[in-house]
Amino acid sequence: MSGNSEYLRCRVISTAHLSAEDNALLDEITTREVGNGEWVHYIGGGYLLRLTACTAPVLRLKEAGLSKEARRVIASLMRSDAVEILIFESGAPEAEGFTTYSW
C-alpha cells in the first residue's frame, strides 16, 4: 500500500432527518444518469452523499427541491464536523438539534 492514502470525514445519521418528500426526491436523483446522480447514491436503507464531489452541494440540493430542514442538517454537519461524506441510513442515530420525521 502506498504512503499516499487519502481519508475522508464521514458521518452517518438517521433517515428520520428526511421528510417523505426528501426521500422521494433523493430516490429520483439517484436514478438520473447525470447531474446530482453522480454524487448522491442510494445504498439500500438510505443515501450516501459525496459532498466534496461537486461544488456547492447544498445549493444544488436546494435547486433540486430538497427541504430547508434537510439542507440545514447537511450544511451544519459540513461546517461543524468538516463532513465530506454524509450517509442517511435508516438504522443510524439521530443527530441532536435537528428536525425529524416519522413516515
pLDDT at 37 over 80: no
CA 87 to chain centre: 6
Instruction: Give residue-wise pLDDT tens across range 47-78.
Output: 999 999 989 999 999 999 999 999 999 999 99
How do the residues of the chain divide into helix, strand and coil, expressed in percent and rounded to 5?
40, 15, 45
15 burial type by CB count under 10 A (0-12 exposed, 13-18 middle, 19+ buried): buried
Residue-level pLDDT at 32: 73
Q: Are 39 and 49 within 8 A, CB to CB? A: yes
Q: Where are the domains of the chain?
A: 10-89
pTM over 0.95: no
Residue-level pLDDT at 71: 98
Residue 31 vs residue 81, higher pLDDT: 81
**Residue 90: pLDDT band by 50, 70, 90 thresholds?**
very high
